[in-house]
Structure 1
Amino acid sequence: MKRRVEGTQLRSCALIGLISDTHGLIRPEALKALRGSDLIIHCGDVGDPVVLDVLETLAPVRAIRGNNDRGPWANRLPPQDLVEVGGHAILVLHDLAELDRDTDAAGLTALAFGHSHKPVIEKRGGVLFINPGSAGPRRFRLPVTVATLALGSGRRCEAKIVRLTISK
C-alpha cells in the first residue's frame, strides 16, 4: 500500500541526510556525517528500530521498510513515502525496481532509494536519483557511505555522496 505523508515543516533551503542499508548497525562515522541535517531519510533495510532512535537524536527521521526489515516494528514503516520539504517532493523507496510511476510527470525533485548498496547520484530527466549506498556492514568491496541532499529555492537541489572512513 502506498501512502502520501505530509513532510516535516522545514524552510525552503534545507539539508537532508540520506542513509540506507544499515542492517542494524549505526556507525559513529555515519552519525558524524549526518550531523547538521534538518531531516534524515532512511531508505530501508534499517535492521533494528534502535537505528531510527539513534538517528532521531540528530534530526527528525522518515524511514521506509526494506526487504530485510521484518517484525511488528518494521510493519509500521511504509514500503514507500513521499516526503515534501519546502516545495520539493522526494519519493523514497527501497528497491528502484519497484518504481511504479513516471518521476517527471509526478513532479518529483528527487528519488531516494537503496537496496543495491551502490552509491549513485544521477539526473534522469528533471529528477535527481540518489542511492546513498550502505552505511551498514561492508558488502563485497563497496564503500561505506551516506549522502546529503541540499534543497534550495525553486527546484534547485544538489546531492553529495559522503564516503565514511571506518576503522575496520
Structure 2
Amino acid sequence: MKIIVISDTHMPKRGKKLPEKLIEGLRGAELIIHAGDWQTMDVYEELMRYAPVKGVFGNVDGEEMKKKLPEKQVVEIYGQRIGIVHGHGQKGTTEKRAIATFEGESVDMIIFGHSHIPLKKELNGVLLFNPGSPTEKRRQPMYSYGIISVEKHRLQAEHIFFENKD
C-alpha cells in the first residue's frame, strides 16, 4: 500500500498549486494523510481527486477545516495504528507535543507537521514522522513530503526531497 504524507501546504498563501514533484507522487497513492495547515478546503478537494484523504486541522486552518477535520485522529492500516496531529501548542517542542498527544494510546507511528522540519526517527518502538512541507521549506534546504508503505504488516517511511516547488 502506498500512502502519501504531507503537511503545511499553506495554500494559496505559500503556493498557488501543488508542486509537480508532489503530484507525481500522488499518482498511484491509495491513501493521502495531511497533518494540518491546509489553509483552504480547496487543497482537501484537490487531494481527493488522487486518493482518499485522512487528516487533521492545524493552527492556521479556519472554521471550515475545523468542521471537516478533527484535531487528532488514529488511522488503522493492516493492523498498524497511525496517530495524526498537527503538533502546534504552547509547551515543549513540536515533536514532544505530538508524542504527548497520543500518550496512553497504542500507536505504531505518529505523523505530525507544524515545524516544516522533516523528521524520521524511532522512539520507544514508535515511528515519528514529519514530512516537512511541499510548499514552504522555511530554513530547510529542500521542499519535502513523505511516502509510507506497509510491507509484511510493518510501516516503512521515507522522505521525498525536491528543490523546485513549480
Following superposition, the deviation at residue 138 of structure 1 comes to 3.3
Following superposition, the deviation at residue 142 of structure 1 comes to 4.2
Partner of 1:40: 32
- TM (normalized to structure 2)? 0.83
SS in 2 for 1:138: coil
Partner of 2:5: 18
**Identity among equivalent pairs (%):** 30
Partner of 1:6: none
Deviation string 1:10-48 (CA, Å, 9 cap, x unpaired) is xxxx22110000001322221112322210000000111
Which one of the candidate residues 160, 163, 166 is aligned to 1:162? 160
- 8 A contact 2:134–2:165 mirrored in 1: no
Do the aligned partners of residues 107 and 73 (structure 1) sit closer, same or farther apart at CA in structure 2, a change above 3 Å counting? closer
Q: Which residue identity does 1:146 align to in structure 2?
A: Y
Partner of 1:92: 84
Which one of the candidate residues 38, 46, 49 is aligned to 2:41? 49
Paired residues for 1:7-156 under 5 Å: 14-24=1-11, 25=15, 26-95=18-87, 96=95, 97-98=97-98, 99-102=100-103, 106-154=105-153, 156=154
SS in 2 for 1:84: strand
Larger helix fraction of residues: 2
- 8 A contact 1:15–1:39 mirrored in 2: yes
* Cα separation, 1, equivalents of 2:20 and 2:63: 26
* Cα separation, 1, equivalents of 2:160 and 2:59: 24
Following superposition, the deviation at residue 73 of structure 1 comes to 3.5
Following superposition, the deviation at residue 76 of structure 1 comes to 2.1
* Cα separation, 2, equivalents of 1:51 and 1:167: 15
Q: Which residue identity does 1:68 align to in structure 2?
A: V
SS in 1 for 2:101: coil
- Which ranges of structure 1 fall in alignment gaps of 5 or more residues? 1-13
Deviation string 1:120-163 (CA, Å, 9 cap, x unpaired) is 10011111100000112331344210001111233x22110000
- 8 A contact 2:56–2:86 mirrored in 1: yes
SS in 2 for 1:122: strand
* Cα separation, 2, equivalents of 1:161 and 1:27: 15
* Cα separation, 1, equivalents of 2:30 and 2:137: 27
Q: Which residue identity does 2:162 align to in structure 1?
A: L
Following superposition, the deviation at residue 167 of structure 1 comes to 5.7
* Cα separation, 1, equivalents of 2:162 and 2:25: 8
- 8 A contact 2:83–2:102 mirrored in 1: no
